[in-house]
Structure 1
C-alpha cells in the first residue's frame, strides 16, 4: 500500500502543468497586465544587476546626448555683462533649434493646427525626457556629487547613469542663500555649500533653535529609491540616502532632476527640474503639478511618496523616514519660510522698475510684460505669480509620439512659479526644457500666440533679467 502511494505521488509530481482538454491545444498564458506597483522581491543578485546596468549605460547616455544635440545648441555663450549673484555668467540667445526652412517669425504667424499638421513645433519645446526615462530616479550634476563626497564622504554617483545637461547652463554653485530675517547680511552661507557638517557653525546665533533643527533635518540624508541600503539601489555601496538640500542646494536649486511620483504608466511621467525654494513664504501651492496646499504637506509628501516614486510598500522596504508632523515637519517648514529672493536693486517697493534706475530697454520690456506679451496674466508683481495652476494646452501644436521612452503628450496644469530672481534659475519650465530666457520668451510667444517682434522679445528678456 505504501509503495503504491509513493508511485502515485511520483506520477502526480511528473505530470505536466498544462493539460490538454477536448477543446484542443492549451491557450498560452495571458500577457502580464499593466501594474502601478513595483517589484518588491528582487531575485537578481545585486552584482549582476550592477554589471548589466553599467554595460548598458554608454548607449543610454549616448542616446540622450544625441537627443539634446538635435534639440539644442548647448555651446557656452555667456551674455556680456550679465551674471548671477556670485558672478556666474548668464547664458544668452535662443538655443532651441528650428525646423528646417522656417523662421521664428514665420512659425509665430502660423496657427496651432497648421504647426501640428506640418510637424513644425520645435523639438526643444516638446517635453524633455529623463536621461533614462524607463528607469528614472534622482540624478545630480557632477559638481554637487563631488562636493558632497568631499565634505560628507557620501557618494551620490549612480552606477547606471550620469546627469545630462552641461554645467554652464545650470545655476551657480554653491548658490547664495538670502533670509527674510537677515536682509542686511546678503548671502548668509558665506559662499559655502551647506551640509550636515557645517550648518551649525554658520547659523548658530542667526536662527532660533526650532529653525536650526528644521535646517538640520533638511540637510540630513534619508533613504530614497536609488540611494538606500537594499539590493535595489543604484549606488555601488549601500547609501545613507539623500537630503532635501541635495537637490535644493543652499535652499535654491542645482538643476538636479527626477520624475514625478504621481503619474502612471512610466512613459507618461514628467521630468522635474528642481525649482528654487527662494520666496516660498509668498507661495500658496507647492509641487509643480501637485497643487499641495501647504509646505508642510509638501514636506511630508516628499519623504513618504516622492522619494519612493509614490509606492509606500517600497518605501517601507527601503527605510522611509516618517516625519513627525507636529514638530519635525513644522520645524522644516519654518526654516523654508525664511528663504528670500535675491536682491533686485532696480525694483521699487511695488516690485516694478524704478524709472530712475532702469534702462530704456528694460522699461520697454516691462510694458510688453504687462501688455502685449500677456505675461502679467499669470505673473503679477510684486512677486510675479498668481499662485494658481494653468494649462498651456501645448498639445495643440504637436502629435503624440514616443521620445526615448517617454510618451510626449500635453503638460497639463502647471503652477505659476514666481519670476523674482528668474535669471538665477536656469533651465526653465517645470522639466528644464528651455535653456535660456530667450528660449522661454520664444516658447511663450508661440504658445500664447502673442506675435512679438524681435525687438520686443529682446526688450522682454532685458526686463526679466532685472527681476
Structure 2
C-alpha cells in the first residue's frame, strides 16, 4: 500500500513538474520530435481550412479587397496599381473626424481603424516563410521545388502585390534597361541571363542568391511544413529578381511568439544607398544582412534548431562578399519625372504631382524622414502608433508597442506594395491616411490625393 502511495506521489509530482516546465517561457524551439511526421501532417492539414478562413475573415473585416486599379498608371512591366483607401473606418466616423481627434480620444472611444492595427501572420502561432501561390507554381514548373505548406497558405490578394516577375535594373548597366527579359531568375537561368553582363565575382554572388538552403519550414527533418523533404529556399524566393514578391514570415529576434512581428519582404532595389538593413534589426551592412538571414532569420533566430535542420554557414570573405557585391548593383526603376536631385522636373510633372511634392516637403512632413534623392534618412523612428489603441490579441499577435522602424526608401514605391514593415497598408492611399493620423498633419482630401500622385511619380 505504501509503495502504491509513493508511486502515485512520484507520478503526480512528475506531471506537475512537467506542466510547470511547459509553462516557463523559453527562448528555444523544441528540438526533439515528439510526434511522427505523418501524424503532424494529418493534424495540421485538417486544421488548415479553419485557419485560412479565420485570416480571410480578418482581412474582410479590415479592408475593401476589391480589384480597383488606378487608371493609366502601371508598374514597369505593366501590372496595374491598386488605388483608393482600402482600410475600413469604424461606424459613424469619417477620416476628417479622426484626424481632428487626439490620440487619447481615439483610444478611449476605440476608433482606431482595424486595418491600422499590426497585421498578424496567416498562422501566427507557427509563423515561418509563406509564399504567394504564383511563386509556388512557378518554382514547381521551373525548378521542380515545392514551396507549398500543408498547414497554411498565403492569403493577401494577388492584385495588391508586386508584379511578377519584377524587372531588374543594374546600376552598372542602365543602358540595358530591364535585364530580366521577363523571366524569374533562378539556378536554371541565371548564367544564361547574366554571363557577359556581370564580372565573375558578381556572377558567383548571384549564383549563391539563387541556391536553395535549408530553412525552418522547408528542410529534410520530420518537423518541416512541406509535404516532401525539401532542398530549402533561396534568397530570391522572397526577394524575387532582387525585388520582392511580398512573401512573409515572422521576425526571428523577438520572444515570446505573440510579440513577434510579421515581415513584408522589402525590395533589394537600391541597397547600395542604404545604411541600415532589416526593418528593426538595424544591421549595418548588406554583408551583415546576408549572413544574418541564413544563420538566424531562416531558423527563427535559434542556432540550436538551425544545427538540427542544416544551416548553411556562409564564408564571410568570399561567399558573403560576392553575394553583397551583386546586391549592390540592384537599382531602382527609372523615374523619368525626377531630376538629378530627385526632385520633380516642372516641365514633366502634372499640377497634382507638383502640389503633392510641395506638401511632401511641407505640411505632410514626409520629408522629415524621407529625404531626396532616394527618400530615406537611413535612420530608424518610433511612430508610437500604440498611442491610438488599447493592447489586444489579433489571431495570436499582441498589439504591444513596436519600437523604432527603419525609414525605407520611397524611390519606386508604387511597385512595392503592400506597405509598412508588416504589410498592413494595402495601397499608397492607405499609407497617406495612416501617417496623416500618426503625424497629426490634418491634410484635406484634395491634399491627400496630391501626395499620392507625387508618390506614384517617384
TM-score (norm. length: structure 2):
0.97
| Alpha-carbon distance, 1:19 to partner | 5.6
2: CA distance, partners of 1:433 / 1:390: 18
- Three-state SS of the structure 2 residue aligned to 1:241 is coil
Deviation digits for residues 312-359 of structure 1, max 9, x if unmatched? Answer: 010000000000000000000000000000000000000000000001
1:88-237 matches, cutoff 5 A: 88-237=79-228
- Three-state SS of the structure 2 residue aligned to 1:411 is coil
- Three-state SS of the structure 2 residue aligned to 1:465 is helix
- Three-state SS of the structure 2 residue aligned to 1:451 is coil
2: CA distance, partners of 1:454 / 1:181: 41
Two-structure CA RMSD over aligned residues (Å): 1.5
1:262 is aligned to 2:257: no
Cα 1:122/1:12, change in 2 over 3 Å = same
1: CA distance, partners of 2:306 / 2:188: 27
Which position in structure 2 is the counterpart of 1:323? 314
Which position in structure 2 is the counterpart of 1:459? 450
1:242 is aligned to 2:237: no
Which position in structure 2 is the counterpart of 1:5? none
2: CA distance, partners of 1:260 / 1:399: 23
Deviation digits for residues 233-283 of structure 1, max 9, x if unmatched? Answer: 000000000000000000000010000000000000000000000000000
| Alpha-carbon distance, 1:61 to partner | 0.4
2: CA distance, partners of 1:28 / 1:155: 42
Among 295, 304, 320, the residue aligned to 1:313: 304
Matched pairs, number: 453
- Three-state SS of the structure 2 residue aligned to 1:42 is coil
| Alpha-carbon distance, 1:411 to partner | 2.1
Which position in structure 2 is the counterpart of 1:390? 381
Structure 2: gaps of 5 or more residues: none
Which position in structure 1 is the counterpart of 2:371? 380
Which position in structure 2 is the counterpart of 1:291? 282
| Alpha-carbon distance, 1:28 to partner | 4.2
| Alpha-carbon distance, 1:26 to partner | 11
- Aligned 8 A contact 1:85 1:176 in 2: yes
Which position in structure 2 is the counterpart of 1:4? none
2: CA distance, partners of 1:422 / 1:270: 22
Deviation digits for residues 162-220 of structure 1, max 9, x if unmatched? Answer: 00101000000000000001101111111111010000011000000000000000000
- Three-state SS of the structure 2 residue aligned to 1:79 is strand
- Aligned 8 A contact 1:177 1:251 in 2: yes
1: CA distance, partners of 2:331 / 2:306: 32
- Three-state SS of the structure 1 residue aligned to 2:457 is coil
1:438 is aligned to 2:429: yes
1:335 is aligned to 2:336: no
Deviation digits for residues 62-88 of structure 1, max 9, x if unmatched? Answer: 000000000000100011101101110
Deviation digits for residues 388-407 of structure 1, max 9, x if unmatched? Answer: 00000001000000010111
| Alpha-carbon distance, 1:34 to partner | 1.2
Cα 1:19/1:251, change in 2 over 3 Å = closer
Deviation digits for residues 351-403 of structure 1, max 9, x if unmatched? Answer: 00000000111000000000000000000000000000000000100000001
1: CA distance, partners of 2:15 / 2:336: 74
| Alpha-carbon distance, 1:427 to partner | 0.3
Among 371, 384, 387, the residue aligned to 2:362: 371
1: CA distance, partners of 2:14 / 2:156: 52
Cα 1:18/1:88, change in 2 over 3 Å = same
| Alpha-carbon distance, 1:12 to partner | 7.3
1:76-91 matches, cutoff 5 A: 76-91=67-82
1: CA distance, partners of 2:10 / 2:254: 41
2: CA distance, partners of 1:112 / 1:369: 23
Cα 1:299/1:17, change in 2 over 3 Å = farther
1: CA distance, partners of 2:386 / 2:425: 17
| Alpha-carbon distance, 1:18 to partner | 2.0
Deviation digits for residues 133-153 of structure 1, max 9, x if unmatched? Answer: 001000000000000110000
- Aligned 8 A contact 1:127 1:411 in 2: no
Larger Rg: 1
Cα 1:105/1:210, change in 2 over 3 Å = same
1:61 is aligned to 2:52: yes
Structure 1: gaps of 5 or more residues: 1-10
- Aligned 8 A contact 1:177 1:187 in 2: yes
TM-score (norm. length: structure 1):
0.95
- Three-state SS of the structure 1 residue aligned to 2:9 is coil
1:38 is aligned to 2:38: no
Among 341, 350, 356, the residue aligned to 1:359: 350
1: CA distance, partners of 2:5 / 2:142: 61
- Aligned 8 A contact 1:84 1:172 in 2: yes
